[in-house]
Chain A
């Protein structure tokens, strides 16, 4: 047996080195190189994902670094004075009062139909009408007394001021001003717009203000904030207390 093995070994020992070398190469390939290849590919893929994220972050940064914080804050304050982030009942009252003052219409009553909760109402589902606008509508009724042309001016001015309100209907009533034939009393139904701030979840796509957005903001400057004018001219300091014209101020 031993002699046979020795004879065989002696005969085939030349094969030993190439066989061991081949087996070692195959082992090295599958046990080391293949896993390292897999890991390298995985690292490259991970690095590519992170590199893409870095590109997006750099784009975000370049957008943000190009804008002036004070300007954008002022623009947002102006925008939220047009469409507030909450019902902001005082601004409705002040706006109606100011429009009445400017058009010499007497505001005899303002009735907010569903003032509801004082909160922003962000959790409240939108009605069909609200869904059309993509924001909440707060209906309110205003009783006005004035001449036909004054009422016309009131309605026209109501479309040209901040905060934004929208007249939808009015009803004429003569019973209260029988002694003044040119004076009429109307009840005008308005909608006041408001919408809680919804910051986009996908911030990766942040862009600077587009030309049409800049135009909207520049147009908005032309809408006087009449509620503010009334306050500064006619209201006492105590009335202003508690109101934050700039909700983003620190």
Chain B
């Protein structure tokens, strides 16, 4: 065995990477480092955001439970207010639905009064229906004349005779309808 054969090669085996592979390796190193930094930065940001969100959730949950607690002390007041809110529109409607009986009676009196006036009905469209008992055709003419005058003076509108019955004794039953103008 000669001297050359007994020597040990302590030199590092030389890289056999090509230029392209070396460039790729450098880029890969750069990308991996950048990616790690980005991921860690995002992670830190998201972690902070998560903690902030949790804190906010806890705060608003506490606020809600406090508000509900205070609200429960006011539940009777709330029920009273809601009850009042329910009742007021009904009161408005009930007041609006009232017929102005003083004006209606004055209008009716201008045409016919008891004992001739036997009945009076008012419908939802404010149309008055008078049931009148008359003793003669003259009385009938009188009522028709008064009705015409009231139409002229615009106290009533749309007058019409709904029915007319005369018996053998000369008694006349007549239904007169009209709409008072208020």
Q: Which residues of A contact B (CB under 8 A)?
A: 10-12, 14-15, 17-19, 21-22, 24-26, 28-29, 32-33, 36-37, 39-40, 43-44, 46-47, 50-51, 53-54, 57-58, 60-61, 63-65, 67, 69, 72-73, 75-76, 79-80, 82-83, 129, 132-135, 148, 152, 155-156, 158-159, 164, 166-172, 174, 184, 193, 195, 197-200, 203, 206-209, 213, 216-217, 219-220, 248
User: With A40-B46, A82-B91 in contact, do A61 and B35 touch (Cβ < 8 Å)?
Assistant: no
**Interface size counted on chain B using CB atoms at 8 A:** 72
Majority secondary structure, B binding face: helix
A61 touches B84 (CB 8 A): no
Determine the chain A residues whose CB is within 8 A of the CB of B86 once the complex forms. 197-200
Interchain nearest-CB distance for B180 vs A (Å) = 14
When the two chains form the complex, which single residue of B47, B50, B115 contacts A174, counting CB atoms closer than 8 Å? B115
- Residues from chain B with a CB closer than 8 A to the CB of A79 are 83-84, 87-88, 91
**B131 surroundings in chain A (CB, below 8 A):** 171
Do the beta carbons of A171 and B94 come within 8 Å of each other?
A: no
Instruction: Spell out B's residues near A (CB within 8 Å).
Output: 13, 15-17, 25, 28-29, 31-33, 35-36, 38-39, 42-43, 46-47, 49-50, 53-54, 56-57, 60-61, 63-64, 67-68, 70-71, 74, 76-95, 97-102, 105, 109, 113-115, 117-122, 124, 131
Contact A170 B83 (CB under 8 A): no
CB distance from A112 to the nearest CB of B (A): 18
CB B36 to nearest CB in A, in angstroms, measures: 5
Min distance, Cβ B168 to any Cβ of chain A, angstroms: 22
Contacts of B67 in A (CB 8 A): 54, 57-58, 61
A167 contacts B87, C-beta separation under 8 Å: no
